[in-house]
Structure 1
């Protein structure tokens, strides 16, 4: 692992493992007995996250006197929000801002830019940043939690302070690879009671010089942090529509037919979940439908839903997870939904561009969606739908609207997010993050 993207900072369950991760990636300081061994390649890990992540990492590593090999380094990059977003979305109780935003052109973020792996040059030169350049002296952005190039730990290199553009996005904060096969990372803020970020990873297909080689669409992964409303990210989730959405499902209404001990009503679960800045499986499914996602993985499951181990009622716990998957699938209308456990792996197969003959035959073998592939280690749920758009075929992503792509003015007013958007309240002290 060389890159780590953080969602938000405050709750300990999102941050305390970061320090041990950094220490495990970097090598231990050498000793005199190490001289007989052939030196390994130097290690480096880059950490991306909202304001506060740099100060947190630097403080904990410094206070614990942690030291690593002198040739190994960590780098912490902060994604700085504009002050108008921070002021308007304090405690997650403001209305989403995406409705009036123009649709983001997918090609703009995928074709221009340099080879700087840090993404700093790309971010500053992106067209969305040009209008902001004249206003940099007006302190439109929040200040970083610690100077990027001052007060460095001996194993730390200067990071980058990425400033959100006028549409409150961070474009191309990271570009890895060259000459085909690049992975591009964009990000944007999402609604939670604390500042929180969602990331969009776009994997471009590798170049194949053979003239008869098949063409492939990009694969896009949307990975959200804690949120009760991620709709601000909709412009980043089109052209192409996401191959996979990873969405939190902190709480869920479980009927007594699944759990005889269940006592909470659906309305109470929804109200409390949104009040605390979180989502239910139904809300995850609604967002998946809105962005045309092809697969959905539910994560950040609440502690009331432990994994189905042998000592905690595996049949009941497994049934609860299946019920959460069912609720998300029903709200979504697609097929592939999985409640993630530790070390769950999801395979996103290549999405081949179909020719017209294949389109007429029903699209077999390419243009996959919720029902078509995506291998993983657990048995697939029964009753999977065929997914949206199967058999219609997709002729590639450049310059064409893909099935399921959306524009930024669409609303979830009839979905789970719409029903919960007016019940945002400041969570009680002591609630889980």
Structure 2
């Protein structure tokens, strides 16, 4: 495909939010390049986040009515409680019904598809019915069922059959699918979409389980090339978007299990991390709910006192969450090219204000925290600092652009790459065009690494000039 993929973060805080500087979890991705958006999680206040987007020259704001699919990672309130207001906003107000005995007039095509774990259909149906909601356009809900699970409510329940009135399928809801996992516990190809009306060109969405306190899902989005691949073909892009997790490793085999179209590609170890893959992960979105912020970054202990790296990690895991180091370790496991962390704990406010205003203690602390979280993720990803890694801490309205690969990869032989130096004590990085926060871990690469860093356009635009930080 020739279009850029963009991911816009609408909410980046954890269940302790929303906070003054962050809304709860939601992001949208322009994957198809046709103007439609696919949303991942929909917290309370998500609709308002569309309206709150800041003006940025050269950037077109995402709009609510562009969303055509919603993927829910798990049923916690900070990931789901914006769905009803979102649907009310996007599906339109119906015309008054003159004849109360007339059949439902909703015969329009489906406006929004919703995928999520068991319970998502019943929650939406119950909220829709008890709030007497109606719409002019339709939605559809598909439940992804773990082993042994049955649907929270049947896809089709008619009134007058002895069912609870809140379980009755309303006129705005079309009959969805009950998608049972396969023997390996995965949901392959829940979406298999052609783009531009051309066969063999499109997007595949696979889903799989990740470990959290409650059932939780991660999504793998794969780009399907227009033409058959060869060993010299530019690589298609692949995104991995996770929900809350303390251990996403159950998803790793699904990430590495490439579709048949990838069979002609040779295996490469793109970053020298002993993870040979045919198609690396272009972007990993992974939570980082908690982190230990050392005293040299937070001398007054505003992010917590008497905390150690070990105690923070233990507490995060006990609550079903991750630290930046854990996110970085999983990026290495799946051969990711870029890691963006979200679901940031409420104790870590997002940076505000220009980087030049570092004389303000609060501004300096907030920027220092995200730099430290990015550094910890980089350390978890590549502990010896021998390879370039790309770690970011998202804030609301941060935009990530993934450009299409236009050249065949030229990954070096494993173990032969020149080491890079991770430099986290440099001056503040160059401002991003989407936010003024230092979301990127700073890297200084020796000149011998520059050619390898031009391996793909999406990396080339972020290559590090001599004695400068990486542009986000």
Shift of 1:329: 1.3
Unaligned runs of 5+ in 1: 33-40, 83-140, 209-213, 361-374, 396-433
Counterpart for residue 372 of structure 2 = 323
Quote the Cα distance in structure 2 between the aligned partners of 1:346 and 1:65.
38
Distance 1:184 1:144, change over 3 A: same
1-structure distance, mates of 2:376, 2:433 = 20
Q: Secondary structure at the match of 2:238?
A: strand
Tell me the CA shift for residue 349 of structure 1.
1.2
Q: Is residue 146 from structure 1 mapped to residue 153 from structure 2 by the alignment? A: yes
In structure 2, relative to structure 1, the CA distance for the partners of 1:312 and 1:15 (3 Å cut) is farther
| 1:294 aligned residue (337, 348, 356) | 337
Distance verdict in 2 for CA 1:389–1:173, change over 3 Å: farther
Q: Contact 2:281/2:334 (CA < 8 Å) preserved in 1?
A: yes
Which residue does the alignment assign to 1:48? Answer: 115
SS in 2 for 1:297: strand
Shift of 1:332: 1.0
1:384 aligns with 2:443: yes
Task: Pick from 392, 398, 419 the counterpart of residue 338 of structure 1.
Answer: 392
Q: Which residue of 2 aligns with 1:203?
A: 223
What residue in structure 1 maps to residue 176 of structure 2? 159
Deviates more, 1:340-349 or 1:275-284: 340-349
Aligned counterparts of 2:409 and 2:392: Cα–Cα separation in 1: 31
**Residue 283 of structure 1 pairs with residue 326 of structure 2:** yes
- The alignment's TM-score, normalised by the length of structure 2, stands at 0.60
User: For 1:241, which of 273, 277, 280 is the aligned residue?
Assistant: 280
- Displacement over 6 Å in runs of 4+: 387-390, 392-395
Deviation string 1:185-216 (CA, Å, 9 cap, x unpaired) is 001011111010000000123349xxxxx943
Structure 2, unpaired ranges of 5+:
1-66, 98-107, 158-167, 257-277, 354-359, 383-387, 414-431, 457-472
Which residue of the partner structure matches residue 213 of structure 2? 193
The Cα offsets for residues 248-300 of structure 1, whole Å up to 9 and x where unpaired, read as 00000100111113321111101100000000000000000111100000000
| Matched pairs, number | 308
| 1:128-154 deviation per Cα after TM superposition (whole angstroms, max 9, x unaligned) | xxxxxxxxxxxxx31100101222111
How far the C-alpha of 1:321 sits from its partner, in A, is 1.1
Task: Provide closer, same or farther for how the CA distance between residues 390 and 270 of structure 1 changes in structure 2, counting only shifts above 3 A.
Answer: farther
The aligned runs of 1:32-431 (5 Å cut-off) are 44-69=111-136, 72-82=137-147, 141-150=148-157, 151-177=168-194, 178-207=198-227, 215-238=233-256, 239-262=278-301, 263=305, 264-309=307-352, 313-333=362-382, 334-354=388-408, 377-378=434-435, 381=440, 383-384=442-443, 391=452
Greater helix fraction, Structure 1 or Structure 2: 1
- Alignment TM-score, normalising by the size of structure 1: 0.65
**Backbone CA RMSD of aligned residues:** 3.1
CA distance in 2, matches of 1:335, 1:385: 11
Question: Which secondary structure does the structure 2 equivalent of 1:181 belong to?
Answer: strand
